[in-house]
Amino acid sequence: MSMVVVLLLLLPCALLCLFSCAAAQLTPDFYDKSCPTLIPTVRAVLQKAIAKEPRIAASLLRLHFHDCFVNGCDASLLLDDTPSFTGEKGAVPNNRSARGFRVVDRAKFAVEKSCPGVVSCADILAILARESVVLLDGPSWAVQLGRRDSTTANRSAANNEIPPPNSTLANLLSKFQAKGLNAQELVALSGSHTIGLSRCVSFRDRLYNFSGSGRPDSTLQPHFWEDLRAKCPRFHGNNVVAPLDAHTPLHFDNLYYHNLHASVGLLNSDQVLYSTSGPNSTRAIVTRYRDDQGAFFADFASAMVKMGNISPLTGTSGQIRKKCRRVN
């Protein structure tokens, strides 16, 4: 009799769980009890790294993006090649441009000292991304935690799913849509290019032979074009770098959107957010963020939380890696 009552009482709970527990649940307080020193520990490592090289903040923000777009935010990007899989570090969007891995290792090492075996590498990346934006005077957000780490990586997914710098607007929209991110989130997240640098190889086509036309990209502002040609020669210098935001590459602000209005966006994928017209045009969103840094900051913060929520491993899926570069 009492058994039946208990079962009847449990039934609604079980049904509720079917709906709410099925969705991955990340929460900002995931490690509050198991690792209360987590955030200050990661922040201290980052502050040291930024003091040595401020650009590292940009590089770390980018790592979180490149992790999340490939099988979700599961630290797959951090795995070195093994005999059983080729890692994502060698994929075209990462090879010779993804950087900051040693800072991630240092953060993980420091966290392992105080809370061994508790905090995932995927969460450390998410924290480093948030702290990097904050330390360059950008917005903050409640970083969601509770991700676990993958046991494998997928180089071809990294090649296919991370958009290349010569993407058209339609390409960008569809690659972001594939990850559940809309046009507004595309434009807000691209505002990350208010910090950091890009190699010449990522924008050279625009300077000399845009889309195989034999001519430069006609949207390039003439003086900007001249400056870039001086930096980025046609036949060599692949790894020479130029700032994504020429004015304040170490300050997280909305000048990126001013640049797009002035036709001085560095990558094709930047400039098309303003210059492409038609039914999919995102020009009005660019203008809104140019005119209202507060709106940009608010939308950037929510979009980062949403990007950080792409297919996380939770519960008993995956593992908590001991070292971010290899599976346990």
Ligand X SMILES: *[C@@H]1O[C@H](CO)[C@@H](O)[C@H](O)[C@H]1NC(C)=O
Contact residues for ligand X, defined by CB under 6 A = 90, 95-96, 154, 156-157, 160, 164, 166-168, 170-171, 173-174, 177, 209, 211-212, 214, 278-280
Which CB atom, from 35 or from 197, has the smaller least distance to ligand HEM? 197
The residue number whose beta carbon is nearest to ligand HEM equals 196
Contacted entry of ligand HEM, ligand X, none for residue 278, CB cut-off 5 to 8 Å set by kind: ligand X
**Residue that the structure tokens 């036949």 belong to:** 235
90, 162 Cβ separation under 8 angstroms: no
Q: Across the strands, what pairs with 242?
A: 198
Which CB atom, from 150 or from 268, has the smaller least distance to ligand HEM? 268
Confirm or reject binding of residue 271 to ligand HEM (CB under 6 A): no
Least distance to ligand X, CB of residue 69, Å:
11
Window 228-247: residues binding ligand HEM (CB under 6 A): 244
Which CB atom, from 100 or from 318, has the smaller least distance to ligand HEM? 100
Instruction: Work out which of 72, 163, 265, 308 binds ligand HEM, going by CB under 6 A.
Output: 163
The 67-106 contact track toward ligand HEM, x by CB under 6 A, reads ------------------------------x-x-------
What residues are annotated to the active site?
Answer: 66
Confirm or reject binding of residue 195 to ligand HEM (CB under 6 A): yes
Judged by CB under 6 A, which stretch of 9-17, 23-31, 138-146, 193-201 contacts ligand HEM?
193-201
The 273-312 contact track toward ligand HEM, x by CB under 6 A, reads ----------------------------------------
Confirm or reject binding of residue 167 to ligand HEM (CB under 6 A): yes
Least distance to ligand X, CB of residue 157, Å:
3
Confirm or reject binding of residue 172 to ligand HEM (CB under 6 A): yes
Confirm or reject binding of residue 248 to ligand HEM (CB under 6 A): no
What does the H/E/C string look like for the chain?
A: CHHHHHHHHHHHHHHHHHHHCCCCCCECCCCCCCCCCHHHHHHHHHHHHHHHCCCHHHHHHHHHHHHHCCCCCCCHHHCCCCCCCCCHHHCCCCCCCCCCHHHHHHHHHHHHHHCCCCCCHHHHHHHHHHHHHHHCCCCCCCCCECCEECCCCCHHHHHHHCCCCCCCHHHHHHHHHCCCCCHHHHHHHHHHHHCCEEEHHHCHHHHHCHHHCCCCCCCCCHHHHHHHHHHCCCCCCCCCEEECCCCCCCCCCCHHHHHHHCCCCCCHHHHHHHHCCCCCCCHHHHHHHHHCHHHHHHHHHHHHHHHCCCCCECCCCCECCCECCECC
